[in-house]
Amino acid sequence: MSQIEINPSILSQSANNTVLITGAARGIGAATAALFNYHGANVVIADLAQFQKAAEHLIESTFTNPQRAIFVPGDIVDWAQLTSCFKAAVERFGSIDVVVANAGIMESSPVLDMNCVDENGDLRESTEANRIIEVNLKDDLGAALRLGLFHMKQPSHATSTSSKSIVLVGSTSSYFGGTGVTAYVASKHGVLGLLRASQSTARGLGVRVNGIAPFLTPTHITAGFAQRWRDQGLEENTPERVAEAIALIALDETRQGDCVLVAGKYLRELESSRTKLLPTWIGAEVAEFMGRTMQFFVTIGGYVLPKKY
């Protein structure tokens, strides 16, 4: 598995594109918005209304081209608000070229805490876990995939060479689950499932869908242990480093269905490596059988959905 090198020249392709980023008022989303704007893109910062001042400060103090940026309030679990975000982007800038599904949250208490009981000794429902899965998965499924594909789909007869692109922000937790943050890990595994499941439809609509899998990045989510991580001398990201990787896969027209690991100085593509390793992992015969079964679904036009019951 070879190191991926970021080609700075590819960032020039941002010019005059319109990029919609969810959860972009702070952290990785803010760094990504600033990077795209620096290279001439129109940027739509979609985030909760409570972060409006932070987003406006980001635009005024950090953006190279502030006239090319707007903040649109929207809660990604509210379909009407999400729809309004995309409509506002089109109304202001004419079209959307890139969508980055960056919004995400993590639990503040252990989901599998068996001591979380009520006055009767019954286990309490983890409403926070439900919220995390809803936010982290709805962002990618609703904001990125459904609304992104709807607004960026290319007509079957289109001759345009422009490349529309969606980036799903997953995590190393999309592949590894040993940290114990149960709801977060489950949601990020779901993001990886969305990446894989969306490829056929996205290709048919002329849209590239790729993923990003950042390792530890100092943001509000990792504030509780980031210093101890540094004290151990472990590799860490910066939001700007992750933003560069997001821009790379968003703009690189050769990438479709990739997921790039970002771990400090290390950049690795994971999905193609996984495919190559399948015969070793599950055995050559099983890998060949699974390949034939996938071709079966292609032949019949996709999975035949069951009737409602």
Residue 266 annotated among the catalytic residues of the structure: no
Whether 1 maps to a domain, the answer reads no
pLDDT recorded at residue 165:
96
**What CA–CA distance (Å, rounded) separates 181 from 184?**
6
The verdict on 100 and 204 lying in the same domain is yes
The verdict on 141 and 173 lying in the same domain is yes
Domain total in the chain:
2
Whether 278 maps to a domain, the answer reads yes
The verdict on 306 and 199 lying in the same domain is no
**What CA–CA distance (Å, rounded) separates 105 from 220?**
10
CA distance readout (Å), 216 to 38, 252, 258: 25, 24, 20
Q: Comparing C-alpha atoms, which of 203, 216, 210, 217 is closest to residue 270?
A: 210
Whether 131 maps to a domain, the answer reads yes
Whether 3 maps to a domain, the answer reads no
The verdict on 216 and 281 lying in the same domain is no
**What CA–CA distance (Å, rounded) separates 124 from 110?**
12
Whether 264 maps to a domain, the answer reads yes
Whether 258 maps to a domain, the answer reads yes
Task: Using the structure block, give the residue that is written with the tokens 């977060």.
Answer: 184
Whether 2 maps to a domain, the answer reads no
* Angle CA 45–46–52, to nearest 5: 80
The verdict on 193 and 299 lying in the same domain is no
The verdict on 265 and 287 lying in the same domain is no
The verdict on 133 and 282 lying in the same domain is no
pLDDT recorded at residue 156:
64
Query: Which one is catalytic: 38, 175, 184, 303?
Result: 184
The verdict on 61 and 43 lying in the same domain is yes
The verdict on 191 and 287 lying in the same domain is no
Looking at residue 155, which CATH number applies to its domain? 3.40.50.720
Q: At what angle do helices 27-38 and 52-62 cross, to 10 degrees?
A: 40
pLDDT recorded at residue 114:
93
pLDDT recorded at residue 162:
62
Average pLDDT across each block of 10 residues of the chain; the chain has 309 residues. List them in order: 78 95 94 97 96 96 96 92 95 97 90 93 93 88 90 73 86 87 93 95 95 86 76 83 94 95 91 92 95 92 87
* Domain extent for 67: 8-269
The verdict on 129 and 26 lying in the same domain is yes
pLDDT recorded at residue 2:
66
pTM over 0.85: yes
End-to-end CA distance of the chain: 46
The verdict on 80 and 216 lying in the same domain is yes
* Residues 6 or more apart whose Cβ sits within 8 Å of residue 80: none
